[in-house]
Amino acid sequence: MFASSSQLKHWMFNNEGEIQSLRQEANARYVEEHGTKMSEEQRQAYFLSASEERHLCRHFEFVLKEFCSRFQPPMPKYVLGTALCYFKRFYINCSAMDYHPKDIMLTCVYLASKVEEFNVSINQFVGNLKGDREKFANIILTFELLLMDKLNYHLLIHNPYRPMEGLFIDLKTRFRVLENPEKLRKGAEEFLEKSLMTDVCMLFAPSQVALTAVLVSAAKEKANLDRYVTETLLKGMSPEDIKKLQVQIKKLRYMVKSQEQIPREQMAHLQRKLDHCRNQENNPESEVYKRKLQEMLNEDEEIQTKKRKKISEEQKKKDDELLFMPSYVPSSNT
């Protein structure tokens, strides 16, 4: 249930401003760590600003959506919802320069398909990608644990799809006045798709999103559902609560309607900038990364050989002690 979920307890925020400030903090942390010797202007020219990061992330969210829509076998919508939610949560606490969005994007989809029981093997998954498939497979498997860690292992996402189905069932059963609720389905699904590109999953409950979707679709089809909402769905609730809910719905609607276009022209330029300033330690294709990996393996080996040496030395000592103990030396004469 949403009410008892980790989504409600840890990943819901008060308003857009809070999310924005968290992202800015993540950005600032990265700049502090990696730009110690630069001046202010140099930093601005070299590193991505928080808004540029935001543009990049939004672009990659769009790419994620396209990837999922073309996925073979056909991917259900809630997997896309889960993957996008993971992606958004990851980049609240980490900067895009630290981990490149294109790596994390694939990892999010892979992890989401596992969690939502839409099982695809890694080979089937990378079969949908063009290019060096083995490399992609390695990237995904490398970042999977990291992604889970940054999500604090809160993997269950409540998407608005099931609440929407529930609302349709309820409409068909209790609000017979509306002849064909199915005609509202398409509009509601379009609204939900648009809402995936915004941050509403972290600001509003999934049932609120679903209800807004249905109401928006009804407005388009010129069907009036106000009676349904006030008399059937929310029967018995106090008028103040109903008013507050209406305010929420309005806010939601506005947020989804007024989302900005992603500035496509800047994308190429921003991506190049990112290539320069990204953290090479986390870039699976860089020399630094490969060297670190090698060092780690060597370290492991060193530790192993040291251990073995220690054990054999101790064994030798024990043997010597036994041999030189005076009372145990067998006497050859009576």
Partner 1 sequence: MDDQGCPRCKTTKYRNPSLKLLVNVCGHSLCETCVEALFVKGSGICPECGTALRKNNFRVQLFEDPFIEKEIEVRRKILKDYNKKEEDFKTLEEYNDYIEMIETLIFNIVNNIDVDETRQMIEQYKRENKDQINKGRNKKSKDEEYLECLIEQEKEESSLKRKFIVEEEQREKDSKKKHKEALLDELMFSDRSALDILNEHKTDIDKENELRVPVMATTKFSTGIKLMGKYLRHIRSASDEEKGGGFESKLACMRALLDAVNGLFYLPDQV
DSSP code string of 107-145: HHHHHHHHHTT----HHHHHTTS-S-HHHHHHHHHHHHH
Q: Candidates 107-115, 136-144, 201-209, 280-288: pick the segment binding partner 1 (CB under 8 A).
A: 201-209
Cα–Cα distance, 183 to 217 (Å, whole number): 9
The residues in 134-153 that bind partner 1, with binding defined as CB under 8 A, are: none
- By beta-carbon proximity to partner 1, the closer residue of 243 and 308 is 243
Contacts of 76 (CB under 8 A, 6+ apart): 116, 118
Among 83, 120, 203, 213, binds partner 1 (CB under 8 A): 203
- By beta-carbon proximity to partner 1, the closer residue of 27 and 159 is 159
- By beta-carbon proximity to partner 1, the closer residue of 236 and 330 is 236
77 near partner 1, rule: CB under 8 A = no
2 near partner 1, rule: CB under 8 A = yes
- Among 196, 195, 235, smallest CA distance to 216 is for 195
DSSP code string of 214-233: HHHHHHHTT---HHIIIIII
Backbone φ, ψ for residue 273 (5° rounding): -60, -40
Cα–Cα distance, 126 to 300 (Å, whole number): 30
Cα–Cα distance, 111 to 106 (Å, whole number): 9
Cα–Cα distance, 30 to 22 (Å, whole number): 13
- By beta-carbon proximity to partner 1, the closer residue of 5 and 266 is 5
Tell me the number of residues near partner 1 by CB under 8 A. Answer: 36
The residues in 158-187 that bind partner 1, with binding defined as CB under 8 A, are: 158, 162-170, 172-173
Among 211, 223, 256, 270, binds partner 1 (CB under 8 A): 211
Among 10, 135, 227, 244, binds partner 1 (CB under 8 A): 244
Binding site for partner 1 (CB under 8 A): 1-3, 8, 12-15, 158, 162-170, 172-173, 203-208, 210-211, 233-234, 237, 241, 244-245, 247-248
